[in-house]
Amino acid sequence: MSNHQNGRIVITGVGLTAPNANNLKEFREALLTQKSGITEMEIRYMGKVAVGNCNFDETLYQKKKMRRRGTRAGSISIYCAHEALNDSGLSLDSLVKDRTGIYLGITEHGNVETENEIYELHQNHLDTSLWSHHHNPRTVANTPAGEVSLNTGITGPAYTIGAACAAGNIGIIHGAQMLRLGEVDLALAGGISESTGTFGIFAGFKSQGALGTHEDPTKASRPLDVNRNGIVVSEGGAIFVLERLEDAEKRGAKIYGEIAGYHVNSDAVDFVLPETQRQIECMKAAIARAKITANDIDIVNLHATGTISGDENECEAINAVFSQSANTYVNCTKGFIGHAMGAAGALELAGNLPSFTDHKIHSCKYIENVDPRCNMRNLVNGEPVEKEVNYILSNSFGMLGINSVLIIKKYNK
Amino acid sequence: MDYQTLRQKIIDIIAEIAVDEDLSNIDDTVRLRDQLDLDSMDFLDIVMELKKRYKIEVPTEDYPKLATMKSCIEYLGPKFA
């Protein structure tokens, strides 16, 4: 039995890449100034679609050869992991490599590589002897985390957590749990997505009637707008350095916030449709674990993907949980960056963390016509709100009915 | 096919795989692995490229014949013919 079971876990480093930024400072600035990262891209078999692609330097921390051998998800992970460690003030040399864990949430992995290889196979007249020997190592589900391990020499546990679009939160939750169990002394935890690399996810949402479109791609992702028409698929990543509070204080680390509460549950009703009641229960359980009340939450960052039913269900859940919470403000992030799938929860939390110190709540990407069914008290729409922030609650929900809620508290000794 | 032409074809393949390497000073008599950052996966890539580009099959038991540039050229020369 570990003696860390009730230990306080803090965030001491952030590394990220999003369609509109390549570090937290840029990301925060983009969210405060309404900067979209959504563009158009030609997708095989589909033509032009709105998409959120990242623009970080893939070779900053990785040799070209290893990039060629690995995956986009691995490359995003390597970039974010190095950026997070740099931000935390920790050097690779200073890490106790076998006591460091890498826990990355993913919506899916391997679809991009498989689709591209099947395309190549057709170009090669279905000659499977030309099928790449890289296929298996590129498509095993632990690849994004494993590539970070190979790149950094970290020898502790390195694996991914498949949790659809709830995965970003769950990567962080899992990292905190492993620190509390004493399995590791430092965790690189967050979420990753490379989903824009294949047509399949776009075509799937289109067939489902849930692919976001607009003649102006920067308006294709418009959660809570009465005219929203679906999801804009994005790639990206956010990795946090997590430590036990005593370790962070001992080394004088900068502390972004403390993991105060979390909860994960399942709808158990539908492959794709959300379930309001389970979302309500998930938020309430996370709030209870944090030993606070709903009114203590200063920011709720919605999952809000821009689908008709997803947004309505979540807003109904918010109105139920926060009906008495005059202190609570509500924002969402996907209008700026689209839906970064497994990275979404981690990225969206990162974008709100600076609220503890700059005392601002970033707005949603301006919603021209708020859907009356999504109208919530204190919805931040247009300009940032000036406010002291002590608690942030971040929702991330996913297909097959998985819900995750994470609450971060401002660090106080 | 003359030595230099064949050598260039092999260099072109290695350049695509060992993208970080300077290939301008390869010693043809020294093992490629001892002068370039190449591992077993890279050699599989080289074998695959030979097959894709030139339809040349290199059976597993012949992989040691790709050890140096000189041995590559001696081994592959008749296959290019």
Q: Give the one of B19, B45, B52 whose C-beta lies nearest to A64's C-beta.
A: B19
Whole-number Å distance between alpha carbons of A222 and A231: 9
Give the tens place of pLDDT for each residue, A54-108.
999 999 999 999 999 999 999 999 999 999 999 999 999 999 999 999 999 999 9
Name which of A114, A273, A139, A75 is nearest A201 in CA terms: A114
A370 is written with which tokens?
């708020």
CA distances from B75 to A65, B7, B70 (A): 26, 12, 9
Are B52 and A129 an interchain contact pair (Cβ–Cβ within 8 Å)? no
Q: Which alpha helices (H) appear in A328-401, and where do they start and end?
A: 334-337, 344-352, 355-358
Alpha carbons within 13 A on the beta-carbon side of A92: 13
The answer to whether A412 and A257 have CB atoms below 8 angstroms apart is no
Are A65 and B17 an interchain contact pair (Cβ–Cβ within 8 Å)? yes
Q: Which residues of B touch A134 (CB under 8 A)?
A: 41
Whole-number Å distance between alpha carbons of A217 and A366: 14
Name which of A71, A75, A70, A83 is nearest A58 in CA terms: A75
Per-residue buried b or exposed e for A97-128, using 16+ beta carbons within 10 Å of the residue's own CB: eeebbbbbbbbbbbbbbebbbeeeeeeeeeee
Q: Give the one of B18, B42, B51 whose C-beta lies nearest to A130's C-beta.
A: B51
**Complex confidence, ipTM:** 0.91
DSSP SS3 for A3: coil
Name which of A96, A103, A112 is nearest A81 in CA terms: A103
Q: Mean pLDDT by 10-residue block, N- to C-terminus, for chain A (413 residues)?
A: 80 98 98 98 96 98 96 98 98 97 97 96 93 96 98 98 98 98 98 96 96 98 98 98 97 98 97 96 98 98 97 98 97 98 98 98 98 96 97 98 98 91
Q: What is the pLDDT of residue A413?
A: 84
* Beta pairing class for A402-409 and A257-266: antiparallel
If one counts every other C-beta atom within 10 angstroms of the C-beta of residue A66, the result is 17
Whole-number Å distance between alpha carbons of A203 and A184: 40
Mention every residue, 6+ apart, whose C-beta is less than 8 A from residue A112: A71, A72, A73, A194, A195, A197, A198
Q: Which residues of A touch B48 (CB under 8 A)?
A: 130, 132-133
Q: Which residues of A touch B18 (CB under 8 A)?
A: 65
CA distances from A352 to A164, A225, A259, A279, A359 (A): 22, 21, 14, 21, 10
Q: Give the one of A65, A124, A130 whose C-beta lies nearest to B20's C-beta.
A: A65
Are B41 and A68 an interchain contact pair (Cβ–Cβ within 8 Å)? no
Alpha carbons within 13 A on the beta-carbon side of A19: 34
Give the tens place of pLDDT for each residue, A229-285.
999 999 999 999 999 999 999 999 999 999 999 999 999 999 999 999 999 999 999
Q: What is the pLDDT of residue A2?
A: 56
**Chain B positions touching chain A (beta carbons under 8 Å):** 17-20, 37, 41-42, 44-45, 48, 51-52
Q: What is the pLDDT of residue B34?
A: 96
Q: What is the pLDDT of residue A184?
A: 98
A87 is written with which tokens?
């931000």
Are A65 and B37 an interchain contact pair (Cβ–Cβ within 8 Å)? yes
Give the tens place of pLDDT for each residue, B14-63.
999 999 999 999 999 999 999 999 999 999 999 999 999 999 999 999 99
B16 is written with which tokens?
């695509």
For chain B, the residue count is 81
Cα angle value A213/A216/A220 (rounded, 5°): 35
Q: Which residues of B touch A60 (CB under 8 A)?
A: none
CA dihedral angle for residue A167, residue A266, residue A408, residue A335, rounded to 10 degrees:
60
Name which of A55, A65, A68, A46 is nearest A22 in CA terms: A55
Q: What is the pLDDT of residue A128?
A: 95
Residue B28 C-alpha, separation from nearest chain A C-alpha, in angstroms = 22
Chain A to chain B, count of Cβ pairs less than 8 Å apart?
23
If one counts every other C-beta atom within 10 angstroms of the C-beta of residue A137, the result is 19
